[in-house]
Amino acid sequence: MHGLIFFFIHKFAERFPTGSTSRSRSAAGSSTSGSSVSGSSVSGGKHLPSGVYPDADAVAMLEQLALATGRPLPEIVGEFGEFLAPHLVKVAGTFIDPRWKTLDLIENTEAIIHRMVRMEKPGATPPVLEVFRAAPDELHLVYASKRKLCLLAAGIVRGLANHFQEQVVIEEPSCMHRGDAFCSFVIRRDQGDTQPADSPMTATLVSASRFDVPGDPGVVMDEPTPRVIGDYRVLGLIGSGAMGRVYLAHDDRLDRRVAIKVMSARYAGNATARQRFIRESRSLGSIEHPHVMAIHQVGEHEGVPYIVMQLLEGRTLRDHSDISGPLPLGEILRIGKEIASGLAAAHRRGILHRDIKPANVFLEGETRSVRIIDFGLAREIDGQAAALTHDGALVGTPSYMPPERIDDGELDAKSDLFGLGVMLYELLARRLPFEGRSMATVLTAIAKGTPTPLQEVAPLVPREVSDLVMQLIAHDKADRPADARTVSDRLAALEKTFAI
């Protein structure tokens, strides 16, 4: 746990009157009475605010405080969360949009944690969050840390609401303390409050996933549009993400239009973030394959890194499926084959995608040839880039997320195959294999690993096709196909057999 938390535990203990006494209570077989409470009485060794220390040390300090005050530990943990929240807001001040309110900040907490903690202190293991904004006044939060401090998380939520002078209602549909795979919260802002008209979370943002916008949530603070980036003439803004912007530009030398992803100047000053951006961009640029978005150049402009990408014409698989309705079996098999082929090329370079879903598959031109886009969550398979990525983070879109991600397991190439299997199931059955009314129930269904067999919901799909899809979404990675190349070859053979 980050050393700053220990600093605030001591500050929290100082809120209790020095010399106050506890009720007698038994602890580890011995009784303690008359214990005084002060910042110094809650000891746990010396912890530097810049250090990283075992979670158990922090829990032990809170246990000492509970013992000294004679109050239940859960009550102390929750109250500490409420105390901690406004201090965390102050510490993260430069990363917070001043227009945000309680739910807005919670929605962006994972991205803030990553930039402030994981990239600076790779040894730290902050709680991992997955958030779904169901409505302007409702947010679903999954807490996937093994430390099981969901009471602290709930306390922080209450503390944030107090800080922003809002009222929230918190429900906990699932909890690891009740035997569930993760903790989840449904957080609703009291209807008596009104969302500010200029809140960035209620605005409709330009969707630029087709141009490989970074996957982090959030809104980029206003930055002037440059006239040029390197040797490229900027024509306009395509879209934005938390880590930067994507511009439409013209390459005068080759007389072509391109898309340029530029890291936000706010984060480019962070050497670790800049290193990650450049490293991952160069790794992705090494993939030369007709079914992966092409990267033309990686560079820096006035100290800010950027990547020049192919400008695609067409629409995503998600849009195509929604607009066109059910797709012919032959086209589904062809799309699946090309996705698998593109993944095989990335995996050969040691790169995972980690967020394979219909919105990240682009169908280019009249032939609707596949281009895999948005490697913003990519990670090198060999782990060399672990310190620069969302190591341990619950990333990806819930419906397409492999069970090993939910169980905090190790991701590998077969994790990308799971996402491909979910997509094929959805295209063939016109429904998802794992469904639920909330993000928590969807993740619970995936964690249980019991999807309805494709043959039952889509009996007209050939048995050979159904069998392959069910293998791809197998709960145990060992039961999935060996690799993406094998899947591409099998889909190619099925395409020849069943295409009409």
Which amino acid would we find at residue 80?
Answer: F
Helix axes 73-91, 3-13, angle to 10 degrees: 120
Q: Which of 104, 212, 355, 374 is catalytic?
A: 355
DSSP-assigned beta bridge partners for residue 398: none
DSSP string, 471-498: HHT-SSGGGS-S-HHHHHHHHHHHHHHH
Whether 251 is catalytic is no
Tokens 């997509």 locate to 423
* Helix segments in 234-383, DSSP class H: 265-268, 271-285, 317-324, 329-348
One-letter amino acid identity for 38?
S
Q: How many CA atoms within 13 Å lie on the side-chain side of 354?
A: 24
Give the separation between CA 102 and CA 158, rounded to whole angstroms. 9
CB 128 within 8 A of CB 118: no
Instruction: Give the single-character DSSP code of 339.
Output: H
421 close to 473: Cβ distance less than 8 angstroms? yes
Q: Are 462 and 498 in contact (CB under 8 A)?
A: yes
Radius of gyration for the alpha carbons in the chain, expressed in angstroms and rounded? 25
Question: Is the Cβ–Cβ distance between 388 and 283 less than 8 Å?
Answer: no
Which residues are CB-neighbours of 291 under 8 A, at least 6 positions away? 338, 339, 341, 342, 345, 369, 370, 371, 372
Q: Which residues 6+ apart lie within 8 Å of 401 measured at CB?
A: 394, 419, 443, 446
Retrieve residue 343's tokens. Answer: 């993944």
Between CA 465 and CA 417 the distance in angstroms is 15
Which residues does the annotation mark as catalytic?
Answer: 355
